[in-house]
Structure 1
Amino acid sequence: MSTPFPFKTCAQVRQTLLDKQEIALLDVREEDVFAQAHPLFAANLPLNRVTADARRRIPRLDTLIVVYDEGEGLAQLAAQTLQGLGYSQVHLLDGGLQGWLQAGGEVFQDVNVPSKAFGELVDAQRHTPMLSAQEVKALLDKQANVVVLDARRFDEYQTMNIPTSISVPGAELVLRAAALVPDPGTRIIVNCAGRTRSIIGTQSLVNAGITNPVAALRNGTIGWTLAGQTLEHGAGRRATPVPEAQRLAAARQARAVADRAGVKRGRLADVLRFRSETTRTGYCLDVRTPAEFSAGHLPGFASAPGGQLVQETDVTMPVRGARAVLADLDGVCANMTASWLAQMGWEVWVLDDLQATDFSETSQPPAPVPPSPHRYRRPYEGTDNPHEAMQAYLDWEYGLVAQLARDGTHGFKVL
């Protein structure tokens, strides 16, 4: 027989966030309805995924967990399931989503909202250089001295890409820029499907002091499509290996950015110390590619490619206020990723002095979860989305900075 669950009010949840204390605010509805309205730092964990995913996503059993729905009765069932899994600090959000709204809490649409809102804040404060789809096409048409780098996952790039572009997932941009673009006069254009990864990718190059002129493709492949321009499909252009001298130079640049952002430095001994703590949640993450992870990784580390980690903090690290420990072997991807997480308010450490022999564990990343029939249809994925949905998505992104100000809990600080 389960015990009654205590409640947390909207005000108490907000104060926990403002105090930078650990909390997992879980929306246990299906993703499609979650994407219609939810608090900024809510993580989506549908009821039918709680048993399978909770222990991986919320590793500490005495984490403060606050569960809510919109009155469907899912929250009580999810709380009982979490309690059965051994979680000891499970609460219900007082009044559920409606209670949050009635208390004046801000709600956000779409998914991966903390990262997308942060990207818009970066653009608003740093005025990230951008070129329109028409301007980029004109440069390509006249074969100007320009290179387009696609900062999405490789599978997304293969689905649709800007003609001539090369796949360079976001965390690798600083690592690979010099090898791909040896002429300092070449203009580098960074794109994604919408806005966030192109803003973060472009600003990564700017922050690292890349001497080339750099710009984001405004509104990514959405902007390209809305301009009536044709995308490529099935491309396979990928970055080539980076010479050691260029890797070392990129590592110095990335470390300098991470240091400016307040990233902490650690070694393997610190990982052991962190794991012995009982009052802190820690996410140990390998930010290299899934293939590199599978070939060998640090014991107990999970695969979280850097560009996607910055894009999907709510998925990978649903416990807001937790500690993140990042590892790579190039000295670049972890530091660049960490620099962004630190600006997003995370306590983040990068492991130094790692050797190839330290990456001794071999295992595959978890298999992707089969698509749910209730999955939210993202306006920036695929090639058959209505133009109205694409434009509405862009309009929504433009309003995120104002929403952050109204919400007031984000704690973001832009370099």
Structure 2
Amino acid sequence: MTSVTTRNYQDIRRALLAHEELALVDVREEDPFAQDHPLFAANIPLSKLEIEVYDRLPRRDTAITVYDNGEGLAVLAAERLLALGYSNVAVLDGGLAGWRASGGELFRDVNVPSKAFGELVENVRHTPSLGAEQVQALLAGNANVVVLDARRFDEYQTMSIPGGISVPGAELVLRVAELAPDPATQVIVNCAGRTRSIIGTQSLVNAGIPNPVAALRNGT
């Protein structure tokens, strides 16, 4: 325990402003992480640390700072990371409360940076969208429409719109021509929430496909 060093809010802020490589890791479970966390924190729960960390943090010399909210998880996580071969590991001084007390802002929900980007794109580019009732009416009326699900395949398998086709976001521009060869086909892009449907729809608009395209407003 005494071998674990600490870093404070100012250390992290300075490194972020200098664009240095770092990892700020919340080792609580997903629900408390979603309630409040620093903007660029990643969630790797202590319960899944050994399973996920090599994929999430492949560089063993990355400056890693772990934190909790007083549960006693951070020191355990730091010790495990050191045992796993990571060489630059520290605990956030004061944990989440220390971050807040030092003036650090906290955010609610998960994937906050990407969601903020999605909202910015929609606001600036006026990305077209259709409400769930409108999409349901098109499907019920057997309209010339195709629904493309932009989530990962495992998410698609968990729940999906009947008739929807799994097309993870990075594949949308690649596959849309074969899935909607008729330029009159209405293309609907959906995801679980709204961000990936906005980004997916805007990518198709930017690619200049001839089809009308819209996001499913507010997702599945």
TM over 0.5: yes
Alpha-carbon RMSD across the aligned residues, in angstroms, is 2.0
C-alpha spacing 1:181/1:12, structure 2 compared with 1 (3 Å): same
Aligned to 1:98: 97
C-alpha spacing 1:78/1:163, structure 2 compared with 1 (3 Å): closer
Q: Is the 8 A contact 2:4 2:89 kept in 1?
A: no
Aligned to 1:10: 9
Shift of 1:52: 3.8
Alpha-carbon distance in 2 for matches of 1:33, 1:24: 19
Percent sequence identity over aligned pairs: 68
Matching residue's letter, 2:93: D
Alpha-carbon distance in 1 for matches of 2:146, 2:47: 45
Q: Tell me if 1:219 matches 2:199.
A: no
Aligned to 1:24: 23
Alpha-carbon distance in 2 for matches of 1:92, 1:36: 20
* Secondary structure in 2 matching 1:190: strand
Matching residue's letter, 1:165: G
Gaps of 5+ in 2: none
C-alpha spacing 1:144/1:104, structure 2 compared with 1 (3 Å): same
Q: Is the 8 A contact 1:2 1:80 kept in 2?
A: no
Q: Tell me if 1:179 matches 2:178.
A: yes
Shift of 1:35: 1.8
Aligned to 1:81: 80
Matching residue's letter, 1:198: S
| TM-superposition CA deviations, 1:176-195 (whole Å, max 9, x none) | 11111112122211111210
Aligned to 1:149: 148
Gaps of 5+ in 1: 222-415
Q: Is the 8 A contact 2:4 2:79 kept in 1?
A: no
Aligned to 1:131: 130
Q: How does 1:65-80 map to 2 (within 5 A)?
A: 65-80=64-79
Alpha-carbon distance in 1 for matches of 2:150, 2:163: 14
Alpha-carbon distance in 2 for matches of 1:95, 1:2: 16
| TM-superposition CA deviations, 1:96-142 (whole Å, max 9, x none) | 10111122222222333332232222222222111111222222333
Aligned to 1:400: none
| TM-superposition CA deviations, 1:135-194 (whole Å, max 9, x none) | 222223333332221212334334433233222222211111111111212221111121
| TM-superposition CA deviations, 1:311-337 (whole Å, max 9, x none) | xxxxxxxxxxxxxxxxxxxxxxxxxxx
Q: Is the 8 A contact 1:61 1:88 kept in 2?
A: yes
Alpha-carbon distance in 2 for matches of 1:95, 1:30: 19
Aligned to 1:372: none
Shift of 1:4: 4.5
C-alpha spacing 1:161/1:55, structure 2 compared with 1 (3 Å): closer
| TM-superposition CA deviations, 1:232-277 (whole Å, max 9, x none) | xxxxxxxxxxxxxxxxxxxxxxxxxxxxxxxxxxxxxxxxxxxxxx
TM-score (norm 2): 0.89
Aligned to 2:119: 120
Alpha-carbon distance in 2 for matches of 1:142, 1:56: 45
Aligned to 1:237: none
TM-score (norm 1): 0.50
Aligned to 1:53: 52
Alpha-carbon distance in 2 for matches of 1:37, 1:144: 43
Q: How does 1:182-261 map to 2 (within 5 A)?
A: 182-221=181-220
